Amino acid sequence: MMDWTDRHCRMFHRQVTRHTWLYTEMVTTGALLHGDVARHLDFSDGEHPLALQLGGSEPQDMALCARLCQQWGYDEFNLNCGCTSERVQKGAFGACLMAEPQLVADCVKAMRDAVSIDVTVKHRIGIDRNEDYDFVRDFVGTIADAGCRTFIVHARNAILKGLSPKENREIPPLKYEVAYQLKREFPDLEIIINGGIKSDDEIAGHLAHVDGVMLGREAYHNPYAMATYDARFYGDATPVKTREEVLAAMIPYIQSQLDQFGSRGLKLNSITRHMLGLMAGLPGARAFRQVLSDSKKLAGADPALLLEAFAGMRGPGQTD
C-alpha cells in the first residue's frame, strides 16, 4: 500500500470506522536511520489504534527503529515478510525473508527486547513454486519461538521472479485453508487472514476459522464499506456517520494540515485523492470524483470543496 495509506488516508478512514486497526505504508529501516524521521513517522492522535509496518532484515537496525517508533507512540510494529517488489528484494527484505525464518526470528526477538508493544509479522503462505504446507508451518513456528504471537497471513504464494507486485496480488491462487490450518495447528497464536476479501459476510465467514481479517485495496477503493464494521465486529452501537458527515468531519483536519504544512508545499490533492472512492456505487459518484480531481478547484486550497463535490452529485442529470 505504498503511497496509499499515508497519514491523510488513515485520518479519513478513521472517520468511517472508530475501532478497525489501521496500518501505515511500509517504512524501511534505512529511511528512518538516514532520512527524515518526522516525515515518515508523524501522525495524528485520532488515528489510533495504529500499527507501523517496518521493512528491514538487520536485527540491530530493526531494534533501533522499533525503539524510535515506540517513542513516537505507535500501538504495534509489523514486520513485512510479504512484499514482492524487486526494489524490496534488492534490500533483502519483504517476501524473500520467508526463506530465512531464523533471521526473521532474530529480528523479532531484537525488536521485542527493545520495545514493550506488540511485534507482529505479515507474510505469504509460500515463495515461488513451493506449495508445501510444512514450509509456512515451520516459518510460523520458528518466529513464534522468538515471541511473536500475531501473524497476518496473505493467503497466496509470493512469486519472486517473473511476476510484478500487481500480478502477485492476482495470479497466485488464494488458499484460505492454509491460514485456517495454521490456526488449528497454533491455537494460541493470533492468525489474521488477508487477500481478496471484500464483503462483511466474507469477513464473518473467515472469522469462524481465524482471529481477524485484514483488507487492503478494497478498503481504499470502497472506504465506506467499513462503516458497518464497528457495529458488526466490535459491538459498538454508536450511530454510523453518513458520507456527508464523514466529509464534514474531514474539513477541520484538512484546514489544520494546510495551515501547518502549506508553506512546505502540501496540496489539497494530497488529502482529497484518498477520498475519491467514498461515493463508490452511488449515482453521481463520477461527478463527485470529477470535482475532487479538478486542478483549478483544488488550486484554491479550500476544504469546503468536499461539500461542493457532494452537492454536485445531486445536480440535474447527474449519473455515474
> Among the options 9, 69, 81, 83, which is catalytic?
83
pLDDT value, residue 170: 86
What is the rounded distance in angstroms from the CA atom of residue 154 to the CA atom of residue 173?
11
- Confidence (pTM): 0.93
Peptide bond into 49 cis (omega under 30): yes
Q: Which helix (H) or strand (E) holds 190?
A: strand 190-194
133-145 helix and 101-114 helix, angle to the nearest 10 degrees? 30
* Residue-level pLDDT at 319: 44
The letter for the amino acid at 195 is G
The C-alpha cell at 254 is: 484538512
Is the Cβ–Cβ distance between 133 and 182 less than 8 Å?
no
Q: Phi, psi at residue 50, to the nearest 5°?
A: -135, 130
SS3 118: strand
The answer to whether the CB of 42 falls within 8 A of the CB of 281 is no
> How far apart (Å, rounded) are the C-alpha atoms in residues 242 and 235?
19
Q: How far is CA 54 from the centre of its chain?
A: 12
Evaluate whether 193 touches 213 at the Cβ level (below 8 Å). yes
**Can you state the angle between helices 176-185 and 133-145, rounded to 10 degrees?**
40
Copy the grid coordinates of residue 4: 496509499
pLDDT of residue 315: 56
SS3 153: strand
Identify the structural domains of the chain with CATH numbers, from first to last: 7-234 (3.20.20.70), 243-312 (1.20.120)
Cell reading at 250: 474531514
As given in the structure block, the three cell numbers for residue 160 are 519472486
pLDDT tens for 184-197 read 999 999 999 999 99
Using only C-alpha atoms, what is the Rg of the chain?
20
| 83: annotated active-site residue | yes
* Cα separation, 154 vs 126, whole angstroms: 10
Burial class (CB in 10 A: 0-12, 13-18, 19+), 160: middle
Burial class (CB in 10 A: 0-12, 13-18, 19+), 3: exposed
| Per-block mean pLDDT, blocks of 10 residues, the chain (320 long) | 88 97 95 92 96 95 95 96 73 84 97 96 94 96 98 95 86 96 98 96 98 96 97 96 97 93 77 96 95 93 94 62
Q: What is the pLDDT of residues 251-303, one digit of tens each?
A: 999 999 998 876 466 899 999 999 999 999 999 999 999 999 999 999 999 99
- Rounded to whole angstroms, the Cα distance separating 11 from 241 reads 14
- The residues pairing with 150 across neighbouring beta strands, listed in sequence order, are 190
- Which pLDDT value is given to residue 91? 60
Q: What is the pLDDT of residue 168?
A: 86
